[in-house]
Structure formats: C-alpha cells, structure tokens
Structure 1
Amino acid sequence: MKPLVSVLTPAYNRAAFISEAVESVLNQTYDNIEYIVIDDGSTDDTYNILQEYEDTGRLRLLTHKNRQNRGQSASLNLGLKAATGDYIVILDSDDRLHQDKLQKQVEFLEQNPGIGMVYGQAMAIDEGGKELFPIPPDNHVEPGDPNRLLLDCYMALPGGAMVRKTVFDRVGFFEEDFRASQDHDMVIRLAEAAPFAYVKGTVFYYRKHDDTISSQGLERRWRAGFEILNRAATRYPYKRSTLRKRRALLHFRMGQVYWKQGNVGRSAIHILLAGFGDPVRAVNVILGVEKPN
C-alpha cells in the first residue's frame, strides 16, 4: 500500500486563487491523498467554491464553530487533528503544488526513514502565474543544522515541505497566539525534533502579491519573532552566537518598522541594538554587501 498523504489548506477570502490551489492537489501524479481544506470564516465566495468541491467528494471541508474567523494557526490545528495520513503537506490557498511534488517527496522519505522532513524549491510567481525566480536559489545547500534555520529563516513550510505525521505528533500544534510568523515557529520546532533534508527542484509555486504588509502587520510579525526566539532558546541548545545574531536581526527589522512609522527615536534604539548584536553583518548591510533575511 502506498503511504497516505494528508494535504491541508487553510483558506480565507481567496476566491480568486482557491480553485487553482485545489486543482494542483487533485491533479497530483501521486494518488493516495487525503485532502482537507479548512475555511476560516471567508466572507467572499471562497466557502461556496469549496462546498462545490466537497459535494463531488474530492476533498473534506472543515470550518470553525459558527464559521468563525480564528486565524491560520487555529485552522491548521483543526486540520492536523483530522489528518490520518503518514505524511503531512501544507499548501496556502493562493499557492499551488507542482504536479510531481507528492510523488517525489514520498519516494525520498520512504527511502530515507531517518529523515523527518524534506523540502524543495518554490518558484515565485506573480498574480497572473508568471514565473519569477526560485526560492531558495539553485546553489542552495542544506547543512541540516537548526542553528542555520533559526538564524536565516530560509525554508517555506507551506508548500515546500513534507513532514512525517509522527514528527508533528512529537512537536504539537501551531501556536494560536501568533497571528504572524507561526510558520517559522513550527518549522524550527520540526527541525529541532528530527533530521531534515533538501532535494533540489521546484515542488510548489509561491504567489507574490502586489499588496504589501502594513507597518502594524510587520511590527506584529517581528514582535512575534522575539517570542519565537525566546522559546527556542529554552527548548534547544542553540549556539549563543546564533541567538545573539537572530536577536540582532529582529532589532534591525523593528528599527525599519519604526523608521517607516516616523518614530525616529525608537528606530534608532533598535538599529543600535542590531549593530551591537551583530556588528559584522551590520557593516555588510550598510555597505550593501548583504541584504538581511
């Protein structure tokens, strides 16, 4: 028997893209799939579109009680509780999978029983589907070190990875208190719990939108980043240099946010803390040698 793959898609107001995401799962070359879509209280036509798919028996549609909007983490947790597969894949509702993704990643994990998570490349696309660039770049090499992943946040869990259900069972659920950066929090917890690997090649298409995150949204993201870092430091023996450099990067990002908000004083404090925490990287950023991740 082929292993069962549970694919989870949290969906909120993505009527323009949800059919494309769903079809990319239903048209996989791998056929032993349990597809669970969680509508997070959509107010556009997303829920109606998903109901039509459910009526055909091609996916299972879940909602929160009274069709409340509870956020991506709560939606994914609802899906994880319902999932029965050997492997878990998460796909955002505006992205799409490469048709061979499940087949290739199942084969890899079946051949490498000591690996808990495998990921591949995303191909960034614009709103119309035009291909832009690969993420990570073609020269990417995975060191298999949680320190590197915590520091640079380079892996896309939604779309890019396939994870053994036993590893998810070990690390628990997504943190519902986070309304931003919950994916980064989960991926480093997974990396702490089991070895992970990278296989070059496009496995999904990541849609880049023209709309930008508000300064309030960015502030929420980087504040969550500090909490994620603090929790990581208590769970796993990260290098002190990793923790220091990640904290410096978060201060740099907060400095950018406050600068855009016109709060020069608070911005300066965070920029100074970033420089003290990682002076080499600070100089490289100033000189344009490196762009912070």
Structure 2
Amino acid sequence: MSNSIKFSVVIPAYNAAPFIEKALDSVRNQSYPAFEVLITDDGSKDDTGEVVRRYAEKHPSFPVCYARQENKGIGGARNNGLFRAAGDFIAFLDADDLWYPAKLEKIAQFALQNRTLDVIYHDEVETSSDGTKRILHYHPLRDPVFEHLLFVGNQLSTSATSVRRELAQSISGFSESPEFNSAEDYEFWLRLAKAGARFGHLSEVLGEYLRVEGCVTSRIEYHHGNVFNVVNHHLDQLSQEKAYPESLLRRVYKTRRGQNRFILGMEYCKLGEFRRALNNYLEALALRPFWWKTYAALLQLLLKAIRG
C-alpha cells in the first residue's frame, strides 16, 4: 500500500429519492479527497435516478458514477458497485445514512498506521425517526474473528465499514441468496473472516445510521429469520467440514437461537406487541435457561402489563 489510499464509496439505492442527497452531501463534504462514488439504482420506482443526475449536474467536480439495474435486492446492488470499484478500500454507505466530514480521512490514517488490516469499522450514531440519537459502540472482535462473529453475533454496521477491495472481490462480494436478504452484510463479514481477513476497530463515531421504525410484523420476522439462516448456514458448513465437535456446534446453535428469539422479543416489545414479545422471551428462556437478560426482559414486560 502506498502512502495514499483511494476509496470507492459504494451506495445501493432503492426508492431513495427523498434522502439520497443527504448521503451524497456527506460524501462530498469529506475532508479527504481521494474517492470515487458508485451508485447502483436497484430498479427504483421513484425518481432516484433523476435526483442523482441533477445532483451530478449541480456538482460537476463530484466523482459520481450512476448505474441502474433490475431489482436484485441490496446484496446485488452492492455487488454492482463493488465490482466496478477501483479504489484500495471499498467504503459502504447506505442511501439513507450519512458520514461525518472526517470519516474517510480517519479511516485512511488508521489504515496507514495498521497496514495489515483488511476490514476497518467504526462506531456510529443511531438516529430514530423522532430525532432521538444514541451512540452505537461496536467494540473490537476477538480472535479468531470468524468464531466471534458466528458464535457471539454481528458486531459491524455496513455504513460504518470499509473493506480492502481486492479481498472483497476475491470472495465474490455479497450473497444474493434470498434466504440471506437483509442479513447479507453479516454473511459477508463471516466469509471475509473465514478467508483470513484482519479486522480493526476504530473507536470513533464517524457517521449516522437511520433506524427505520414501525416495521410490520412480517418484516421483523423476515429479517430475524434471515439472520438465523446465516448462522445456521455457517454452522452446517462447519459440521460438514468436521472443524468442531458436534456437541459444541449444538450448543452454539441453541445459544444463537435463544439470542435470536430474545432480540425478536425486544423488537416486539418496542412495538407494543407484548404477547408476541412474551412468546419469544419464553422460547429464548427454553433455549438459554440461565441467561439473566431474558429474566430481566420478562420482569420489565410484567411491569408494563401491571401498569397498563
């Protein structure tokens, strides 16, 4: 790696007309100038393409390249940009998220100080639709990283992660399988780790992630079901490879399944769907009977029921 790093900013966009300008502004306002921007319109039904065209005309020096494809899902949209990329690192940015001005400069500095790293991720702010903000700390991953990600859970956010381009392309990018849709980023991190990627955590808040709230039940079930599809897929692979004792893999399965049900229960609790929350907490308890978080969640649910 030379003493300068070029980034390829990969932005998937689907019906992104209302908010993509803010994402593009956050890239254009970067203090670090060495980047290209690769937008993939994933078959939008709104005027996303026209918004991007007008933006490019308004800012002619902004290095943006727009492509449109038939709808493939977010994995396919990211791959379109990923395989057009020419930078040293690919910095992913979802169309409804944004970066702070020093983001790319900080990542470049960190990469030059830690030249063996292949994946660099940072902390970010979660912004709710009502404007409420909270900091998301992602923390360093323990070695071996593949085990940590699979046995403990995902610790990375796509818009807060940059990946060495050659490695990302060598593992064929993101899965486009429907069974991983909305969890394709987690599956991508797992394959990167399994391929030997070295992960580094930059403990700074460098962007904002928009939390989409008010999700319908089917969408919540769909996402968390696909997260567990990723876990199950990789556990099955380990079983076939005979890489770990079956007894360990069964324990991991129960632990991650219980975690999955617990998180789903929390989501339902936020939506006020307390019966669904209770059912998921009880399933989590059956799978992980000694996990204190489930008991605490059940107590909170009981207090909410008593109050009203």
TM-score (norm 2): 0.79
Q: CA deviation at 1:24?
A: 0.9
Q: CA deviation at 1:206?
A: 1.1
The partner residue of 1:207 within 203, 210, 216 is 210
Equivalence for 1:222: 224
For 1:63, the aligned partner's letter is: R
Q: CA deviation at 1:43?
A: 2.4
After the TM superposition, which residues 66-145 of structure 1 pair with which residues of structure 2 at under 5 Å, given as runs? 68-127=70-129, 132-136=133-137, 140-144=139-143, 145=145
Q: Distance in 1 between matches of 2:106 and 2:174?
A: 26
For 1:180, the aligned partner's letter is: S
Equivalence for 2:51: 49
Equivalence for 1:166: 166
For 1:204, the aligned partner's letter is: G
Aligned residues of 2:21 and 2:55 also touching (Cα < 8 A):
no
Query: How many residues are paired up?
Result: 281
Percent identity at matched positions? 26
Q: Distance in 1 between matches of 2:166 and 2:235?
A: 23
Q: Distance in 2 between matches of 1:51 and 1:101?
A: 25
Aligned residues of 2:183 and 2:226 also touching (Cα < 8 A):
yes
Q: CA deviation at 1:57?
A: 5.6
Deviations 1:128-157 (A, max 9, x none): 8x57121117xx45435333333232321x
Q: CA deviation at 1:73?
A: 1.1
The partner residue of 2:258 within 245, 248, 252 is 248
For 1:279, the aligned partner's letter is: P
Indicate the larger mover: 240-249 or 189-198: 240-249
Aligned residues of 1:8 and 1:35 also touching (Cα < 8 A):
yes
Q: CA deviation at 1:286?
A: 2.0
Task: Say which SS state the counterpart of residue 61 (structure 1) adopts.
Answer: strand
The partner residue of 1:13 within 12, 15, 27 is 15
Cα distance change of structure 1 residues 77 and 276 upon mapping to structure 2, 3 Å threshold:
same
Equivalence for 2:24: 22
Aligned residues of 2:281 and 2:294 also touching (Cα < 8 A):
no
Task: Say which SS state the counterpart of residue 31 (structure 1) adopts.
Answer: coil
Question: RMSD across aligned C-alpha pairs, in angstroms?
Answer: 3.3
For 2:35, the aligned partner's letter is: I
Q: CA deviation at 1:23?
A: 1.2
Aligned residues of 1:125 and 1:207 also touching (Cα < 8 A):
yes
Equivalence for 2:296: 287
Q: CA deviation at 1:216?
A: 0.8
Q: Distance in 2 between matches of 1:111 and 1:190?
A: 21
Cα distance change of structure 1 residues 101 and 228 upon mapping to structure 2, 3 Å threshold:
same
Q: Distance in 2 between matches of 1:32 and 1:222?
A: 37
Q: CA deviation at 1:161?
A: 1.1
Equivalence for 2:303: none
Whether 2:57 is the aligned partner of 1:60: answer no
Equivalence for 2:305: none
Aligned residues of 1:9 and 1:93 also touching (Cα < 8 A):
yes
Q: CA deviation at 1:170?
A: 3.3
Q: Distance in 2 between matches of 1:224 and 1:32?
A: 36
Q: CA deviation at 1:99?
A: 1.1
Q: CA deviation at 1:98?
A: 1.3
5+ long unaligned stretches in structure 1: none
Aligned residues of 1:159 and 1:203 also touching (Cα < 8 A):
no
Deviations 1:138-190 (A, max 9, x none): xx45435333333232321x221111112212332212123321122222222
Deviations 1:235-267 (A, max 9, x none): 56576344431122224456778999x9x89x8
5+ long unaligned stretches in structure 2: 301-308
Deviations 1:41-73 (A, max 9, x none): 222232211112344362000110xxx332211
For 1:133, the aligned partner's letter is: R
Q: Distance in 2 between matches of 1:215 and 1:196?
A: 34
After the TM superposition, which residues 244-283 of structure 1 pair with which residues of structure 2 at under 5 Å, given as runs? 244-252=254-262, 268=279, 273-281=283-291, 283=292
